[in-house]
Chains A and B, each alone.
Chain A
Amino acid sequence: MKILSIGKKKMREKIKEKVKAGERLNEQEALFLFEQNDLLWLGSLANLVKERISGNQVFFNLNRHINPTNYCKNRCRFCAFSASFGDKHGYQLSLDQISEIAEQTGDIYEFHIVGGLHPEWDFNYYLQILKLLKQKKPTALLQAYTAVEIDHFSKISGLSLKQTIAELSSAGLNAVPGGGAEIFAKEVREKICPEKISAEQWLSVHRALHQAGIQSNATMLYGHIEKYEHRVDHLKRLRELQEQTKGFASFIPLAFHPKNTRLEHPYYTTGLDDLKTIAVARTYLDNFPHIKAFWIMLGVKLAQVSLWFGADDFDGTVEEEKITHMAGALTPSGLSRAELVALIRSAGREPVERDTLYQVKRIW
């Protein structure tokens, strides 16, 4: 085994003590954790925090993703999903088509709705989607529209952020997904998604949501051109906002997928990096109730393993995921409830079926 330097050993001991005592880690310590390759040690830290928060439980949802359109004004370099008018893979769903999807969908707790910034749709169309789904399936909660879309709605409607959120809320919005955060650092954002809203604006939208009493999630797209320092900065800004609002339910690290994108970074993330990122996030983001293993991006096997590396949420059945699959995801586009229960059990955890707001529906 590699011999650790005295400085490194001391740092490890100090971090372990802090985590055991439930003390908050600083950014220097988070960076140190990212630089370690001792995966099981990282796992043991993250698992301490995970079990302190959620014991042996692992949550999952019955949900269905709907991506209403991939036409998008922003053409982020890492995105294989978005299209411009005239592109062969471009599509937009009519209200009839969305209605049909709702009718075909079985018993679920959530519609998860994320799409492009359609150059021609007005705010009303996005509101109608919510109203329609609420009407077709009143029991399903609507987790819809990332901060990037909400900011776009505010711009195209001329409404303030607060008014925009109020409109969404009265149309049936229950919670907001965490997408569009990517990496907050300006120098990275300029290279991977120059058209997208700034980190400050992304955080402002979530602050406004939380102030309106709407729960949201937060993501981080990692494994492309960013450095560990950027990841730490990203987590820091999330933890700071959460400290003020307590409005985030879960943090979801998203592994970059290289296929069909315009980023010159040909690699998928490694298993080590995926687990490390989950583990550091769990250890550092001590004020986030949940860390989600988004199996669509991690792979089912790795997502299952991550339940011992800090993750306490397996997302859900998903059904029909499109965004990551267009970037070369090798996972299925949906899992059944029975499969999720079996995976969580086989990992040695207790499966807990939940809805979007983490209300427990059934303990398996």
Chain B
Amino acid sequence: MVSRLTREDALELFQKANLLELGERANARRWELNPKPVVSFVIDRNINYTNICSSGCAFCAFSRPPGHPEGYVLSYEQIFQKIEELIQQQGTQILIQGGLNPDLGLSWFEELFREIKKNYPIHIHGLSPPEIYFLAKKQGLSIKEVLVRLKSAGLDTIPGGGAEILSERVRAELCPKKVSAKGWLEVMRDAHQLGIRSSATMMFGCIETDEEIIEHLLKIRELQDQTKGFIAFIPWSFQPKNTRLSDVSSADGVRYLRALAISRLVLDNVQNIQASWVTQGAKIAQLALFFGANDFGSTMLEENVVRSAGAEFRMSKEEIVRQIKSTGLKPVQRDALYNWIQEF
């Protein structure tokens, strides 16, 4: 085991090491932590139950404010239909996420999750920290109370969305109405303590500094030291189209691979790092497997949020398998907890 990177070392590596040096170090760490020549992926679909959102984040092209004519809420029936389609395609989990919709209370989710669990053998990976925080405020409950109720209704794990960059400076500019960095970490801490595991994300390539990227990673690492609740980390780059920040040029290929590599190196206590083909396309996602990633993410039969912002990549299960195989590694379908289900 190599010694842990300090803040200074991490920043120096991130800014000064050339792409090959950084890649080699991240790749070495990947093989230490995940020694089997395997790349996993999950078959799932995103279900974005509503796009109505009171948060109004500057980087988002998906949301519509309450009262907007293009706002929608999916009915339970529509959601069940989507789950049935997913199960037919050997899907094992749904990623259920949406806007901060003032019309949807905790009971709407409790009932939904109960109905889903009653009828379908499917893992519910749902409600990122901003949604949980919003529900707590709306209901006048503590975060823990909300989590306990959601868990008993059927919530299995929590997606790591809404982390963006865990810096109050960045958040004040990008998403002032969204849960703070501190609040995001609190939701995750509470969830982990209740036995609800989660992933964590980072959205970079927007207005953040290099120092803030390292800060983000250190905050995740610190919480993980205490809870061990994070299963995976997913760095992905801001997609500017159709957002209020459309004049920001998004992270390029080198920046993405560097951010991925430094994530692998700093987060020595998070087992899995996901490549993001949704934001990078198949080619760069495949290269990510040499820069620290050991997971290809999911098939995402449906994805709406990033697509609204101009990322139009699509990948079938077959294509994911082909991409992994052509690196000489073995593709494995996994479940939400990274247990292996099927080899290809």
Which residues of chain A have a CB within 8 Å of any CB of chain B? 1-2, 37, 39-40, 43-44, 47, 267-268, 270-275, 298-305, 307-308, 330, 339, 342-343, 346-348
Contacts and interface: CB of A to CB of B under 8 A. Distances in A.
Contacts of B327: 37, 270, 272
B254 A299 contact: no
B290 A305 contact: no
B326 A273 contact: yes
A343 B24 contact: no
Contacts of A348: 18-19, 254
Given A1-B37, A301-B284, A305-B257, A40 B23 contact: yes
Interface majority SS (helix, strand, loop, mixed), chain A: helix
Contact of A271 (B255, B283, B322, B328): B283
B37 A271 contact: no
A304 B253 contact: yes
B272 interface: no
22 contacts: A1-B31, A1-B37, A39-B287, A40-B290, A270-B283, A270-B286, A270-B326, A271-B282, A271-B283, A271-B284, A271-B286, A272-B286, A274-B283, A301-B256, A301-B281, A302-B253, A302-B287, A303-B253, A305-B19, A346-B252, A347-B252, A348-B18
B284 A40 contact: no
Given A40-B24, A40-B290, A272-B327, A302 B252 contact: no
Contacts of B256: 301
A362 B24 CA distance: 33
Interface in B234-283: 249, 252-257, 280-283
Nearest to A36: B328
List the 6 closest pairs (A to B, CB-CB), nearest first.
Answer: A301-B253, A271-B283, A37-B328, A308-B19, A1-B31, A271-B286
Nearest to B254: A347
B286 A40 contact: no
Contact of B18 (A273, A308, A330, A339): A308
Contact of B284 (A273, A302, A308): A302
A65 B202 CA distance: 39
Given A40-B23, A272-B326, A347-B19, 9 more contacts: A1-B37, A40-B20, A268-B282, A270-B282, A271-B284, A271-B285, A301-B284, A304-B253, A348-B18
A51 to B, nearest CB: 10
Contacts of A37: 327-328
B140 interface: no
Nearest to B284: A301
Nearest to B287: A271
Contacts of B287: 39, 271-272, 275, 302, 305
A344 B37 CA distance: 33
B254 A304 contact: yes
Contacts of A47: 20
Contact of B283 (A44, A301, A307): A301
Contacts of A305: 19, 253-254, 257, 284, 287
B304 interface: no
A304 B253 CA distance: 7
Contacts of B24: 40, 44
Nearest to B256: A301
B27 A346 contact: no
Contacts of B31: 1
B323 interface: yes
B69 interface: no
Contacts of B18: 308, 348
Nearest to B257: A305
B260 to A, nearest CB: 12
A90 B19 CA distance: 44
Given A43-B20, A308-B18, A308-B20, A300 B253 contact: yes
A274 B18 CA distance: 20
A146 B284 CA distance: 31
A301 B282 CA distance: 11
B64 to A, nearest CB: 28
A300 B283 CA distance: 11
Contact of B249 (A267, A275, A342): A342
A25 B12 CA distance: 36
